[in-house]
Structure 1
Amino acid sequence: MEIKSTQNQPAADANLATKQSQAVLDKDVQNRAILQASLDVSISSGNDSLALLYSSVVSELNQVLEADMGPSAIQKAYDSGVDMSPAATAERIVGLSANFFSSYQDQHPEMDYETQVRSFVELIAGGIDQGFSEARDILDGLQVLEGDIASNIDTTYDLVQEKLTALIDTLLNPEVSEGDTAVPE
């Protein structure tokens, strides 16, 4: 029969208690950091709702264009520190997306030109709608989707829809629609 020494048992128990205490402290610090980050997002989202909207839409556009254009195609085209007004945001959303039309054409030579135009705009419109929906859900969850924020998002969405319609018209009738900056040249 083997007899185990219990001399080191108190030290082992103390070491285990110290490790458990440190784990509890680490978890507490992590939880506080998460809560602070959530609070920071909540506070800043009210001020930068269109930036959040734009980020959400760009994320969705990156996903829907990834198969044809590569990862983060739209994000790579984004410059920081830009105007976040509804008109400027709508212009960027459609303009940056429109810049990838020629790449989309290269990826789909089996389609005639009109089908390429309509298919491309349908593809990016789906990503845009999903991005707006996600941004609204985020802002609503943060309880800041009201007043000017909601109005700016609605205005931006309406402007994007107008620009998508203009994009189709410009691509299908380039000689009639000169001067629209949302279309690649």
Structure 2
Amino acid sequence: MSMPIAASNQAQSSEARSSDAAPKPSAAAQARAQQNAAIVQASADVAISSGNDSLALLYKTAIDSINENLKAEFGDNALQAAMSQDNTPDGTAGRIVSLSTGFFEAFKAQHAGEDEAEVLKNFMATIRSGFERGFQEASDILQSLNVLNGDIASNIDKTYELVLQGYADFEAAQSNSNSQ
């Protein structure tokens, strides 16, 4: 099929106009454009990635800044040092006793109007029972892992004794304050 001459000339002039309007970029310009696109893509990737971990980023920068402000008074990594946990029998027993007996006031409020000595007795039975069950579960797990021997066994036993002593001391203190 032949193309009419007028249509052929129009097509050629239209191509000439579009090539005149947008000259082909040089190799250097193309390389720059590709580099800019890569930079934009990398920035977007970082933004997306940090968006997924934004709370982790917030936590880390907040902790770092707080540590920096506390450094003069408390030394390096003050927050981490304050949060480190004492896993000795004394430290572990102290946390168990403190956390569990800390619920006494709430327990007492739920039993308002009842005999205070009876409320204390029921509270102590409740937390002792929970501790005994937790202690037995932990002991069973350590036993199944074949690590409940030597220092571990003696530390577990010492912790158990210290918790029971802590409970006895708490109960005695509460009984004395109720009788006054």
Q: TM-score, normalised by structure 2?
A: 0.51
Aligned equivalent of 2:162, options 154, 159, 164? 159
Instruction: Report the counterpart of residue 106 of structure 1 in structure 2.
Output: 109
The reply on whether 1:168 has 2:171 as its aligned counterpart is: yes
SS at match of 1:174: helix
The reply on whether 1:122 has 2:125 as its aligned counterpart is: yes
Aligned length: 98
Offset at residue 106 of structure 1 (A): 1.1
Deviations 1:40-90 (A, max 9, x none): xxxxxxxxxxxxxxxxxxxxxxxxxxxxxxxxxxxxxxx963101101111
Offset at residue 110 of structure 1 (A): 4.4
SS at match of 2:117: helix
Offset at residue 107 of structure 1 (A): 1.1
Higher RCO, Cα 8 Å, sep 6+:
1
Q: What are the ranges of 5 or more consecutive residues in structure 2 without an aligned counterpart?
A: 1-81
- Which structure has the bigger radius of gyration? 2
The reply on whether 1:86 has 2:92 as its aligned counterpart is: no
Q: TM-score, normalised by structure 1?
A: 0.50
The reply on whether 1:141 has 2:141 as its aligned counterpart is: no
Deviations 1:105-162 (A, max 9, x none): 1111242111111110110000000001000000000000000000000000001111
Q: What are the ranges of 5 or more consecutive residues in structure 1 without an aligned counterpart?
A: 1-78, 177-185
Write the letter of the residue equivalent to 2:143.
D
Give percent identity, aligned residues only: 41
